[in-house]
Amino acid sequence: MRDKTMSADEAVSRLSSGMTLGIGGWGSRRKPMALVRGLLRSGITDLTVVSYGGPDVGMLAAAGRIRRLVTAFVTLDSIPLEPHYRAARERGAFALTEIDEAMFLWGLRAAANRLPFLPVRAGFGSDVMRVNPGLRTVTSPYEDGETFVAVPALRMDAALVHVNRADRSGNGQYLGPDPYFDDLFCAAADTAYVSCERIVDTAELTKEGPPQTLLVRRHTVTGVVETPNGAHFTSCAPDYGRDEAFQKTYATTPWPDFKAGYLGGDEQAYQAAVREGT
Amino acid sequence: MSGPTRAEYCVIACAEAWRGDGEVLASPMGLIPSIGARLARLTFAPDLLLTDGEALLVRPDGTPEGWLPYREHLAWVTGGRRHVMMGASQIDRYGNQNIACIGDWERPRRQLLGVRGAPVNTLNNPTSYWIPRHSRRVFVERVDMVCGVGYDRAAGARYHRIPRVVSDLGVFDFATTDHSMRLASLHPGVTVEQVRAATGFGLTVPDDVPPTREPTAEELRLIREVVDPAGARAREVGA
């Protein structure tokens, strides 16, 4: 098995401006924040970001790296509205493809299944159809004859996800209660970079959780990045919960100040600044 | 025991949304609907399924009885055996709901959450709404972005149904010939004039509007001692 380990910066160096980038997790939960911080350190911009959005979207939007966002929501969970995302939307900073949560899931599944679309009973009657005039419909070829929205596949150039454990070849394990959609992101993308709290030997993977916690399969993974506390300040249960105090700091600090205070150096500098602040 | 508070009438009104639903998933968004769902499960709707708002199906005491991560929850919606009670930043007379943004979608005056699962919810399973502060800002003539689909836009949607809207002033349904909103009951202490003044569209008001039903003594005990002993409900709806 190939050793796919690399640093966050190495993973980011394989990405480029203009890419369509999927980001795993959900809201302010298990977001690959160390990789997002790596992106912020790079000059990569003009991104199409596909995300069940949290502070990943807020930060990239605040930094002006997003050309288009594909999402159903952006939230910090315990803080319902993401302030930096809001501000960026209200100043018209990027284009938005707004789709329903289930349409998003069907789009991921279509991409993972190499299908151009999947039909879903969602969207009709709502303004999702108005704001996405490119959405097509499909009529059942069977007796019912019902019409559905044909959700286009959400195929991506690269996916970034964060899990609790991984081995060196990219088998990723989640130990929390929810897989979110991370395996689908990896399968729906041409390349995928998996950050993890800890890299362990393959034989160790089933010591902390049963086989069904082995969420991400190595054939869908390009690079593995060990980055402890790498989802900070989002949650990474059971390794740690959301850092609510820090999240509040993030949400209430003007972006230039937050950037200057926490994102001026590398990941180690970030983690040190977080420790000093608490 | 002291008499029921406004928040407790709201709990009862939310709980009643799930009466008769059988073995379906109650998906409450917001505190008072969550208390209502648990109360319903503990009393007149014992077959209801509850979530912890995370990845578990739970009994009323919080102990797990199943696994429901987001991906399964989204799939379950389309299976229909679910009754969600969502919030609304805006809602109109036909039950169109907005939680996405205020103003023009292209360049919103206020960006809110986004459409979330409202479009799929409203086309697949019964969707009720909970509005803790009834006002003309929420009950509007026309929502800025249709997230949850109302009756006037649901033509041909075979599983569309909005059983009720509960606010801090009363309960509303769509039992009119054109499926526009109707005042179904008033919480005690609230007048029809108050509701009209706080509603930004013409509401159907029957000649006799019943009061929202009283909680029973046992229901009050369950709310106060079992489901919400810390009294969090009073923070969502004051006296």
Domain boundaries, chain A: 8-242
Q: What is the per-residue burial (b if ≥16 Cβ within 10 Å, else e) of A231-243?
A: bbbbbbbebeebb
> Does B146 sit within 8 Å of A71, measured CB to CB?
no
Number of domains in chain B: 1
pLDDT at A69: 98
Give the structural domain span for B190.
6-235
Name chain B contacts of A81, Cβ cutoff 8 Å.
111-113
Residue that the structure tokens 């054939």 belong to: A219
Q: What is the pLDDT along chain B (239 residues), one digit of tens a residue?
A: 789 999 999 999 999 999 999 999 999 999 999 999 999 999 999 999 999 999 999 999 999 999 999 999 999 999 999 999 999 999 999 999 999 999 999 999 999 999 999 999 999 999 999 999 999 999 999 999 999 999 999 987 999 999 999 999 999 999 999 999 999 999 999 999 999 999 999 999 999 999 999 999 999 999 999 999 999 999 999 87
Name chain A contacts of B67, Cβ cutoff 8 Å.
177
Cα separations (Å) of B144 from A38, B106, B115, B180?
37, 11, 12, 18
What pTM was estimated for this model as a whole? 0.97
Residue that the structure tokens 């202490």 belong to: B189
Question: Fold for domain A8-242?
Answer: Glutaconate Coenzyme A-transferase (3.40.1080)
Report yes or no for ipTM above 0.90. Answer: yes
Peptide bond into A233 cis (omega under 30): yes
Q: Is residue B1 part of a domain?
A: no
State the pairing for strand pair A136-139/A147-152.
antiparallel
Cα separations (Å) of B54 from B29, B36, B74, B93, B206?
12, 18, 13, 32, 40
Phi (first) and psi of residue A23, to 5 degrees = -125, 125
pLDDT at A278: 56
Q: How far is B187 from chain A (nearest CA, A)?
A: 29
- Kindly report, residue by residue over A245-268, the tens digit of the pLDDT: 999 999 999 999 999 999 999 999
Name chain A contacts of B122, Cβ cutoff 8 Å.
125-126
A-B CB pairs within 8 A amount to 130
Q: Is residue B64 part of a domain?
A: yes
Q: What is the per-residue burial (b if ≥16 Cβ within 10 Å, else e) of B199-234?
A: bbeebbeeeebeebeebeeebbebbbeebbeeeebe
Q: Which residue on chain B is closest to A80 by alpha carbon? A: B113
Q: For residue B180, which amino acid is it?
A: S
- Domain of B159, CATH number, reads 3.40.1080.10
Handedness of CA A125, A127, A130, A136 (dihedral sign): negative
Which 3 state secondary structure label does DSSP give B182?
strand
pLDDT at B156: 76
pLDDT at B239: 73
Q: Which two tokens stand for residue A95?
A: 């284009």
Q: Can you state the percent helix, strand and coil of chain B, rounding each to 5?
A: 25, 20, 55
Residue among A53, A72, A92 whose CB faces B115 most closely: A72
